[in-house]
Chain A
Amino acid sequence: MSDTPGDETRIGVDQWVEQSEDRREKYTGWTAPARRMFDQVSPGWRLALFLLAAAAYPFLVRGSDVRIGITVLLLAMVALGLNVVVGWAGLLDLGYVAFYGFGAYFYAIVASDQLPAHWPTWAAIPVIVATTALLGALLSLPSRRLVGDYLAIMTLFFAQIFLELVRNFERLPFVPDDLDLTGGPNGITGVEPWELFGFEINSQDLFGGVLPNFSRQYYLALIFLALLIMGLHNLNESRTGRAWRALREDTLAAEHMTIPVNRMKLLAFAVGAGIAGLTGAMFAAVQIGVFPTSFTLFFLITMYAAVILGGSGSIPGVVLGAIAIAYVPELLRDPGKAGWLFYIGLGALLYVMVKRWDHVAVTVGSVFVFGLIVRFFSGRIWDESTMGEANDAFMSRLMDDWVLILDAQRDVITNYVFVLAIVGVMLVVVARAWWRIAALVPTLYFAILVWENKLAFEPSITRQLMFGAVLVVMMAVRPQGLLGTRRVEIT
């Protein structure tokens, strides 16, 4: 658009408004082609492609790695349920994990030696889903007049009550001493697998014990996830889905547009809880047992992370978020893969800081030269500073020739370098233009040094650290989540 008055490229207010979406967020940056392609694929085909890729997964990985896939699918399912409550209806429900736990315990109790009642799966599942949905509706009753933080506190309390009830069931009044339904802190073991239409999900081993068949569990979870996605997609495009979103946007206005707000809130809670109950029951069968520790706030936070990272309100977003949240930590177990992630993350961060590819190249080159110089002098002064063995991974071997790999005093020195790196980060944040690059060079070098000398050898610490860093960077770059749409609160 030209600034010259009378220029025919000038546009009127209406056109300006028309183009506002494009200016705002659509198709900018290097992800643009991918996003454009994604938009051209209809939801049905997207689902089909996703299912195809997901169905191929068990063939591509080693047997026990399929477990990770099951974890991912279960997280995706339960996060989709949470998305109904949080992403669509806009109700900040922190008690959601209780419904998941309720479904799991319900199934464990009715399909094990606990009662003993060995309900067939086809009977247990509908009952569990209905009961959990009812519980969700009931728990929403006292909180239906609350919104935002108040609702969050109230529901958080429900989650805690559930956990305490499960842990201390036998000590409750009116419960006979010999009736220990939930198994207290020890949980319930020996939960039976699902068996639907004569198709058993786990296989029996030679001695009649249950042997988990990961592939079958995986495909069962995939089928349920696919059904869930289709159902929720239809629901989102219906009067019910619109009513939920309207009540998220403006409850008062929704009420005046003939939407029964309290009933819709109750319905959102019930639908979300029902999905959580279903997933919980599947989780119990997959685990062959349930334990109170699975249903703590940590899992609640994981679910929220999946929803928020993927893009609250978007079905493909939430599924992608669940994949990222459940899969990335597994990826980081392997120091080699973690190294890749570290350097990719560092590269992304570098690009975000300087925003120009030529500057990125200059910086990377400078870091390399800086490393060579440091190594040269350091080797002269104290030769043990270059004698260490790098972690044997591809990326680490690349660093071998120019990054100091210490042999002695490793911990002490990396701690000091870590402090230097932090100072460097502060300088980078305040510095502008070329000064920023000047500060970036030693900072990056120190970061690499710390990584190669310490973090690469301690995957358990690194895992959490890296994961946190990925989330922080991700949310800073795309606050609306991977596939979410930016929401405007006040204008």
Chain B
Amino acid sequence: MKPVLELRNLSKSFGGLQVIQDLDLVVGAGQIVHEDDPVVGHVEAVDHLDLSLAPGEIVSVIGPNGAGKTTLFNLITGIYEPDDGDIIMDGRSIVGLSPEEIANLGVARTFQTLRVFLNMTVKENVMCSAFGNTGARIWQSVFRTPAARREERQIAELAERKLAFFGDRLMGYRWDQPAYSLSYANRRRLEIARAMATNPRLLMLDEPAAGMNPAETHEITELIGKLRDEVGFSILVIEHDMHVVEGVSDRVIALDHGVKIAEGSFDEVATDPGVIEAYLGYGAADTR
């Protein structure tokens, strides 16, 4: 079985600053493909990463600020092109494709700094994501042909289903409200709903619990688990909140200066001396 996502030897640098270095990762294959390389190479930022996702697997990416986590997301979703290495989605390289093409292949993401469409209604926000999977031509829309009407109804139903996933948080009266009227936590939920509506195989969540209170953080942890179990997404999640990471992860990757310094279960990674050092500084591991 092919993994959903596989990164081979991925590297990216910005003006001489190596952000990702030699990263390997497999997501969604059930087993880790590239386990053989002892990491900790050069002290540079995402340097050659290899990562892979198994279907229905949740992989967390952790690391201190500036470790290259968001850069990794931007590389996978096509905002940046890698300098070196390959990104393989269902056995096909997606390097060089535009973000929109990558999204159509089944990669959806949320953003660390929220990017909902503020002046559109909650429902419209989610309906937007159906663009790639629908095909009404412009003249069909102008004349509202039966086919266009039918499709429009399907899009609305899709959006309502996705919003219903969040319980009553985004239901009912909220559908027709502009997104700017939502609270911070609800905007995060809306972003996830919007990403889900692109019908992805891989969902990438960039700090889904940032700015949430403990109760909401707990809720989001359960939600991420539910996304995997009920919807069957493979999920790649960046998170700083270790409770969330511990709660959801099947596997954890730790990055530091773009290099994968540890990979394994949460407990393995959390006790890894290299990881503790990356977070707390040299020698910190000994004092524990």
By a beta-carbon cutoff of 8 Å, the part of chain A in contact with chain B is 13-14, 17-18, 20-21, 24, 231, 234-235, 237-243, 245-246, 249-250, 252-261, 267, 271, 485, 487-489, 491
Given the contacts A17-B183, A234-B141, A491-B118, A255 and B99 also touching, CB distance less than 8 Å: yes
* Number of A-B contacts defined by CB within 8 Å: 121
Question: B100 contacts the other chain (Cβ, under 8 Å)?
Answer: yes
Q: Inside 8 A of A24's CB, which chain B residues have their CB? A: 181
Kindly report which residue of chain A lies nearest to residue B173, judged by CB atoms: A18
Question: B155 contacts the other chain (Cβ, under 8 Å)?
Answer: yes
Given the contacts A21-B177, A240-B138, A250 and B117 also touching, CB distance less than 8 Å: yes
Residue-wise, chain B 141-175 has the 8 Å CB interface mask toward A (1 for contact) of 11110001001100100000000000000000110
Max count, chain B CB within 10 A of own CB: residue among A18, A234, A252, A267: A234
A485 to B144, CA, bound (A): 25
Does B100 contact A261, Cβ atoms closer than 8 Å?
Answer: yes
27 A-B pairs with C-beta separation under 8 A: A13-B183, A14-B183, A17-B186, A21-B181, A234-B141, A235-B141, A238-B141, A238-B148, A239-B127, A239-B130, A239-B134, A240-B141, A241-B141, A242-B120, A242-B124, A243-B128, A249-B118, A253-B115, A257-B103, A257-B108, A257-B128, A257-B132, A257-B197, A260-B131, A487-B118, A488-B180, A491-B118
A8 to chain B, nearest CB (A): 21
Does A234 contact B142, Cβ atoms closer than 8 Å?
Answer: yes
Does A253 contact B117, Cβ atoms closer than 8 Å?
Answer: yes
A315 to chain B, nearest CB (A): 13
Does A246 contact B118, Cβ atoms closer than 8 Å?
Answer: no
Does B120 contact A256, Cβ atoms closer than 8 Å?
Answer: no
Does A242 contact B178, Cβ atoms closer than 8 Å?
Answer: no
A242 to B128, CA, bound (A): 6
Given the contacts A245-B117, A491-B180, A255 and B141 also touching, CB distance less than 8 Å: no
Does B198 contact A239, Cβ atoms closer than 8 Å?
Answer: no
A243 to B100, CA, bound (A): 12
A488 to B181, CA, bound (A): 10
Kindly report which residue of chain B lies nearest to residue A236, judged by CB atoms: B141
A104 to chain B, nearest CB (A): 24
B163 to chain A, nearest CB (A): 15
Q: Inside 8 A of B133's CB, which chain A residues have their CB? A: 258
Q: Inside 8 A of A259's CB, which chain B residues have their CB? A: 100, 128, 131-132
Q: Inside 8 A of B111's CB, which chain A residues have their CB? A: 253
A250 to B128, CA, bound (A): 12
Does B118 contact A235, Cβ atoms closer than 8 Å?
Answer: no
Q: Inside 8 A of B182's CB, which chain A residues have their CB? A: 17
Question: B189 contacts the other chain (Cβ, under 8 Å)?
Answer: no
Kindly report which residue of chain B lies nearest to residue A245, judged by CB atoms: B120
Given the contacts A238-B148, A258-B131, A246 and B117 also touching, CB distance less than 8 Å: yes
Contact among A235, A258, A488, A491 for B142, CB-based, below 8 A: A235
Residue-wise, chain B 183-200 has the 8 Å CB interface mask toward A (1 for contact) of 100100000001101100
Kindly report which residue of chain B lies nearest to residue A238, judged by CB atoms: B141
Kindly report which residue of chain B lies nearest to residue A261, judged by CB atoms: B100
Max count, chain A CB within 10 A of own CB: residue among B116, B131, B177: B131
Residue-wise, chain B 79-98 has the 8 Å CB interface mask toward A (1 for contact) of 10000000000000000001
A239 to chain B, nearest CB (A): 5
Max count, chain B CB within 10 A of own CB: residue among A231, A256, A261: A256
Kindly report which residue of chain A lies nearest to residue B181, judged by CB atoms: A20
A256 to chain B, nearest CB (A): 5
A485 to B136, CA, bound (A): 28
Q: Inside 8 A of B141's CB, which chain A residues have their CB? A: 234-235, 238-241
Does A257 contact B194, Cβ atoms closer than 8 Å?
Answer: yes
For the complex of A and B, 7 pairs with smallest distance between CB atoms: A258-B132, A238-B141, A249-B117, A253-B115, A488-B180, A257-B129, A255-B99
A249 to chain B, nearest CB (A): 4
Question: B21 contacts the other chain (Cβ, under 8 Å)?
Answer: no
Does B118 contact A239, Cβ atoms closer than 8 Å?
Answer: no
Does B155 contact A239, Cβ atoms closer than 8 Å?
Answer: yes
Given the contacts A21-B181, A249-B120, A257 and B198 also touching, CB distance less than 8 Å: yes
A489 to chain B, nearest CB (A): 8
Q: Inside 8 A of B177's CB, which chain A residues have their CB? A: 18, 21
Kindly report which residue of chain B lies nearest to residue A487, judged by CB atoms: B119
Does A252 contact B79, Cβ atoms closer than 8 Å?
Answer: yes
Q: Inside 8 A of A241's CB, which chain B residues have their CB? A: 141
A240 to B173, CA, bound (A): 25
Kindly report which residue of chain B lies nearest to residue A230, judged by CB atoms: B142
Given the contacts A13-B183, A253-B111, A258-B129, A238 and B152 also touching, CB distance less than 8 Å: yes
Question: B109 contacts the other chain (Cβ, under 8 Å)?
Answer: yes
Does A254 contact B79, Cβ atoms closer than 8 Å?
Answer: no
Does B120 contact A246, Cβ atoms closer than 8 Å?
Answer: yes
Max count, chain B CB within 10 A of own CB: residue among A234, A252, A258, A487: A258
A24 to B180, CA, bound (A): 12
Question: B234 contacts the other chain (Cβ, under 8 Å)?
Answer: no
Does B128 contact A252, Cβ atoms closer than 8 Å?
Answer: no
Give 4 A-B pairs besides A237-B152, A257-B131, A488-B118 with Cβ atoms closer than 8 angstroms: A235-B141, A238-B136, A255-B100, A257-B128
A490 to B282, CA, bound (A): 40
Does B131 contact A235, Cβ atoms closer than 8 Å?
Answer: no
Question: B217 contacts the other chain (Cβ, under 8 Å)?
Answer: no
